[in-house]
Amino acid sequence: MSAIDPKQAEQEELVAEWLRATPGFFECYANLFNEIRIKHPHEDRAISLQERQMTVLRTQNQELNRRLSEMLHFGSRNDKTQQSLVAWLLRLMKANTKADVEAAIITGLAEVFEVEAAKLLSPNSAFSPWVDTPLCGSAKELAAASTDLLVTQVAISPGWQSMVAIGLPLGKSMGINSHLAVLLASKDETRFMADMGAFYLRQIAELTAAALDRIQAYEVKVD
């Protein structure tokens, strides 16, 4: 592509400035909209200024419609997630045994996140980094060391395309340090992304840990 002549560029800018300062020009010379031909932005043919403007407006409308559809989709999904989360919290509060709490955690989180698998992993000190920074992302992008650790705890299905492992901050109220984790897995590669908000996941972890701590303290007191 040849370089633009500086003088030509300067002249073109002067023309553009004059047209911006003279909005009535095309009212007087409306026929120019059809007479002036310019290259189509996506095809190998020439079109009029009027056609080009319609193409630009059509593209802008398509983009606006796409964004609106995304907003409606995520808004609806967020409302549904919020309702599921409230129902999950109520179930956790009503659970009075360790088995009931664990069942509420697993089935409840599967419903909240709409995933195919939810599992409460056995204690392992290697889970501690996942308390502050949950493991999250598509299966093919997760670090090999993290995947190897998960393999020692659970049979990973080939159908799991994205996963999140959340470390649970257990034992804060009892002065102990236990390391459990919740694993969520989905067939949807985009369900759990690497840039997913860790703050939201940590809130889930703290609520889950509080429910488990409550039952452990309750059972110790009863015994």
* Residues 6 or more apart whose Cβ sits within 8 Å of residue 95: 101, 103, 104, 211, 215
| Cα 124 → chain centroid | 28
Q: Which range among 67-81, 140-154, 200-214 shows the weakest confidence by mean pLDDT? A: 67-81
Residue 190 sits in a domain whose CATH number is 3.30.450.40
The residue among 86, 105, 120 that closes a domain is: 86
pLDDT above 80 for 76 = no
- What is the C-alpha R_g of the chain? 29
Residues 78 and 108 in one domain: no
Mean pLDDT value of segment 111-117? 84
Q: What is the dihedral of CA 29, 35, 37, 40, to 10 degrees?
A: 90
Residues 12 and 62 in one domain: yes
The residue among 53, 86, 119 that closes a domain is: 86
Q: How many domains does the chain have?
A: 2
pLDDT of residue 61: 67
Distance of alpha carbon 117 from alpha carbon 186, whole angstroms:
7
Structure tokens at 56: 């630009």
pLDDT of residue 113: 81
Domain range holding 61?
Answer: 8-86
Mean pLDDT value of segment 85-107? 86
Residues 61 and 157 in one domain: no
Q: How confident is the model over 194-216, as pLDDT tens digits?
A: 777 677 788 888 888 888 888 77
Structure tokens at 103: 């069942």
Residues 99 and 209 in one domain: yes
